[in-house]
Amino acid sequence: MASRTVVKAVQDLPGCSRLVWTTIEITKAGRAGQAERALDLFEAMPVKNQVAWNAALAALVDAGRTDWALSFFREMPRRNATSYTSMIGGLSRAGGAAAALARGLFEELPLDQHNVFTLTAMVSCHVRNGEPDKAVELFVTLYGEFFARGMLPNAHTFSSLLKACAGIRSLSVALQLHALIVKLVCEGNRHCFVWNALIDVHAKLGTLSDAEKVFYGMRCRDICSWNIMMYGYSRHKLVDRALDLFRMTRKKDAFTWNIIISCLGENHLGEGALRLFIDLVRLDSHCSRDAKLNASIYTTVLHVCSVMVLLAFGRQVHARTIKDGIGQSNVSVCNSLLSMYSSCGAILDLERVFKEMTVRDIISWNSVIQGLGQNGLGRQALAVAQRALELKMYNGNTFIAILTSCSHAGLVTEGLSYFDCMTEKHGVEPTLDHYISVIDLLGRAGRLEEAYGLLRKMPFAPNAVAWSTLLHSCLAHKNSVMGSIAAQELRALQPDGSRENYERLVQGCGGCSMADEILVGNEKSANHTPGCSWLT
């Protein structure tokens, strides 16, 4: 009924005004997700020009009705570059095989009818769908032809191409694009995002000095500029520079705080990270609109609590998440809570969080299985694992968690049973990590011959972790013969391992004379440190 009223009102307008007004209303309907209303308005138009057809197509695309838009596109009496740009953009967001279909449409349009918008749409489509190499290849192939026609790339083209360079890790292409940007893109607030993309690609590709030159040479910077440069310092572990930039940033947003807190946490400065978090909480309490606590910040801080085993502080953060209304509904925050309580050995809290979660993903189930298992509750871990398998909430990491739980609890029969049925019953192909988990399972139980046999027969070349796992089991069970074999293999894979490290391991197996034979000429420093746990 409402649609008929709108159509009647449109029909009462003069011809030219009616056409313009309807086209505008079609666009509004599409942006509001009202595809049906947009098409009703379009169908009611007595005269439909190319602008109206393109507006209706864009409305379907904006409403997310990609299949409908594609059918409409094929029915259009005429199509121009704008039509193709809209359709390529819609297919770009659809994902999957739609990217290949978009490329087909791009090549369907004659080259002399293309413009910078069709090129940008196709480059962006490739980048969005994980095909950065194709984006760069397309640009390189067509640039000469388009340049001869005076069709130059714009700021959005360059922004997508710089992301592609980061994806394929091509510094040479990034440097050439940098030169083009300097020539073709004027500085200013409108194009700030291009210079931000330059900072980002230089930082990611290791040319931090070039990133700094771009940043400090910008006449106009926005908050993203500061955040990207700070993140570049963080990636390169330049904590002092990141902190200096943080202090210089006048208008900090949630990303600013999250970057610096993560930077400190990842560089073993957890106490400093938590101090900054406390400062942010105080700012948030004073209603700072720019720096509000969000799920990403909570996730970062909970990870710091997990690493530092700060149960009391973690509980306070948990309380704050509940106060902010994300303590049960946000799956990332809940998964971080599970990890934190697991690391701190707070099993009751772990189970309570899991029980109260309104949404669970595979990571949630894996975290609980792993948490129960590493805290010695193997049977409970397997009970949760069985539920996860029944609900089809599992992946390869689920079986790593199961096997680890069985290993810690001495449940050898159960662990081997899960390993044997991985492929046939659950469709998960065992990886090297799964085999190493079983080697650890057998080795901890003293079944060293079986562990060694599995290591030799597995369809992967044994790596240092596999031999080290067997060697530590030999150390625990005083098996000097097999221990010396494992030590020799490990030394071959890690020739820079220290004499002291191998000597301690081999002599621990009771093979003092063997240690001398294995360690001849080996005097370099060690890179390998045996695994350990905060909890016993």
Side-chain half-sphere CA neighbours of 463 within 13 A: 8
Cβ-defined contacts of 253-256 (< 8 Å, 24+): 253/223, 253/227, 253/290, 253/291, 254/291, 254/292, 254/293, 254/294, 254/296, 254/297, 255/223, 255/227, 256/223, 256/226, 256/227, 256/230, 256/291
Query: What does the pLDDT average to over 392-407?
Result: 95
Query: What does the pLDDT average to over 268-297?
Result: 84
Distance CA 395, CA 422 (A): 10
Tell me what pLDDT residue 18 has. 60
- Give the start-to-end residue ranges of the domains of the chain: 222-293
pLDDT in tens, 18-48: 667 677 887 787 788 787 888 888 888 777 8
Query: What does the pLDDT average to over 284-290?
Result: 63
Tokens of 340: 């934190």
DSSP string, 191-257: GHHHHHHHHHHHHHTT-HHHHHHHHHH-SS--HHHHHHHHHHHHHTT-HHHHHHHHHH-SS--HHHH
The model's pTM: 0.78
Tell me what pLDDT residue 521 has. 36
pLDDT in tens, 328-376: 889 999 999 999 999 999 999 999 999 999 899 999 999 999 999 999 8
Could you tell me how far CA 390 lies from the centroid of its own chain? 27
In 3D, which of 376, 444, 377, 384 has the Cα closest to residue 416? Answer: 444
Confidence band, pLDDT 50/70/90 cuts, at residue 289: low
Residue 119 confidence (pLDDT) above 90: yes
- Phi, psi (degrees; rounded to nearest 5) at 26: -60, -45
Tell me what pLDDT residue 497 has. 59
In contact, 170 and 162? CB cutoff 8 Å: no
Query: What does the pLDDT average to over 243-267?
Result: 93
Indicate the helix (H) or strand (E) that contains 438.
Answer: helix 432-444
Query: What does the pLDDT average to over 207-230?
Result: 94
Query: What does the pLDDT average to over 222-232?
Result: 95
Confidence band, pLDDT 50/70/90 cuts, at residue 523: very low
Query: What does the pLDDT average to over 266-272?
Result: 93
Distance CA 489, CA 486 (A): 5
SS (H, E, C) 350-375: HHHHHHHCCCCCHHHHHHHHHHHHHC
pLDDT in tens, 122-176: 999 999 999 999 999 999 999 998 888 888 999 999 999 999 999 999 999 999 9
Confidence band, pLDDT 50/70/90 cuts, at residue 534: very low
Tell me what pLDDT residue 160 has. 95
Supply the mean pLDDT for the chain: 86
